[in-house]
Structure 1
Amino acid sequence: MNIKMDRTETGLLLALPLLILIAFVLPKWVVNYVQVSLGTGLVALGVMIQMRAGLVSFGQGLYFCVGGYAAGMLAKFLGISDLFLLLAAGILAALIVAGIAGFLLRRYREIFFAMLTLAISMILFGLLSSTEELGSTDGFNLPSATYLGWAPEGETGRLTLYTFTALVVVVCAILLNRFLKSPVGYINEAIRENEVRVEYLGTSAHHAVHITYVLAAVVSSIGGVLWALALGHVDPEMTNWTTSGQFVFISILSGTGNIAAPLIGTFLLEILRVYAVEISPNTWQMILGSVMLLTILYLPKGLWSLLTTRKSTKPSDDSADKISVGD
Structure 2
Amino acid sequence: MSATGLSAEAANGKQSGASRLRRHTALLVIVMAALIVLALFPSFAQPYYVTLVLPAFAYAIALLGFNLLFGYTGLLSFGHALFVALGAYGAAVLTSKLGIKSFELILLASGLAAVVVAIPVGLLAVRYVRIFFGILTLAFGMLFHSFLFKFYNITGGDTGIRVLRPALFGNEFSDLDKTAFLIGPFYYYCLVLLVVLGFVMWRIVHSPFGLHLTAIRENSRKAEYLGVRVRMFRLAAFLISAFYCAIGGVILAINTGQADPETAYWTHSGELVFMTVLGGFANFFGPLVGAFVFIFLKSELMSLTQYWRFFLGVTLALIVILFPRGVM
With the shorter chain as reference, the TM-score category is 0.7 to 0.9
2:80 & 2:144 partners in 1: Cα distance? 12
Tell me the alpha carbon deviations over residues 109-139 of structure 1, each in whole angstroms, 9 at most, x when there is no partner.
1101111111111111101112222220111
Listed as ranges, the matches of 1:173-322 within 5 Å are 173-282=198-307, 284-304=308-328
Closer/same/farther in 2, CA of residues 293 and 157 from structure 1, 3 Å limit: closer
Aligned-partner Cα distance in 2 for 1:136–1:214? 27
The aligned residue for residue 72 of structure 1 is 92
Distance 1:179 1:240 in 2: 29
Structure 1 stretch 47-56 or stretch 288-297: which is displaced more?
Answer: 288-297
Q: Could you tell me the TM-score, scaled by structure 2's length?
A: 0.86
Matches of 2:29 and 2:233, distance apart in 1 = 27
Q: Give the 5 Å matches for 1:158-169.
A: 158=182, 159-169=184-194
User: Shift in Å at residue 37 of structure 1?
Assistant: 0.9
Contact (CA 8 Å) 2:84, 2:249: kept in 1 or not? Answer: yes
Unaligned runs of 5+ in 1: 1-5, 305-327
Secondary structure of 2:109's match? Answer: helix
> Structure 1 counterpart of 2:62, which letter?
V
**CA offsets per residue over residues 161-184 of structure 1, 9 Å max, x none?**
111011101111111111111122
Cα 1:61–1:9 shift into 2, 3 Å: farther
Q: Distance in 1 between matches of 2:317 and 2:225?
A: 38
SS in 2 for 1:144: coil
- Give the Cα–Cα distance (whole angstroms) in 1 for the partners of residues 216 and 316 of structure 2: 27
Deviations 1:279-304 (A, max 9, x none): 4313x222232233333433221110
1:125–1:293 Cα change, 3 Å: same
Q: Is the 8 A contact 1:65 1:224 kept in 2?
A: yes
Aligned residue identity for 2:270:
G
Conserved in 2, the CA contact under 8 Å of 1:12 and 1:170?
Answer: no
The code of the aligned residue for 2:58 comes to: G
Code of the aligned partner of 2:311: I
Runs of 5+ unmatched residues, structure 2: 1-23
Separation in 1 of the partners of 2:310 and 2:272?
A: 17
Q: TM-score normalised to the size of structure 1? A: 0.86
Kept after mapping to 1: 8 A contact 2:89/2:161:
no
Number of residue-to-residue matches in the alignment:
300
**In structure 2, which of residues 94, 111, 123 is the aligned counterpart of residue 103 of structure 1?**
123
CA pair 149-175 structure 1, distance change in 2 beyond 3 A:
closer
Give the structure 2 partner of residue 319 of structure 1.
none
Alpha-carbon offset, residue 10 of structure 1 = 6.6
Q: Which has the larger radius of gyration?
A: 2
Which residue among 64, 68, 75 is the counterpart of 1:45? 64
Query: How many angstroms apart in 2 are the aligned matches of 1:281 and 1:217?
Result: 34
**Superposition deviation, residue 14 in structure 1:** 5.2
Q: Distance in 1 between matches of 2:79 and 2:29?
A: 32
Are the aligned partners of 2:93 and 2:161 in contact in 1 as well (CA < 8 Å)?
no
Identical aligned pairs, as a percentage? 31
State the distance in 1 between where 2:32 and 2:240 align: 22
Q: Could you tell me whether the CA contact under 8 Å between 1:251 and 1:265 is conserved in 2?
A: yes
1:143 is aligned to 164
The worse-fitting range, judged by mean Cα deviation, of 7-16 and 94-103 is 7-16
Structure 1 position 18, deviation (Å): 3.0
Decide whether the 8 Å contact of 1:44 with 1:251 is kept in 2. Answer: yes
Between stretches 211-220 and 185-194, larger displacement belongs to 185-194
Give the one of 2, 27, 30 matched to 2:49.
30
**Structure with a larger share of its residues in helix:** 2
Separation in 2 of the partners of 1:279 and 1:229?
27
Aligned partner of 2:75: which letter?
L
CA distance in 1, matches of 2:125, 2:44: 45
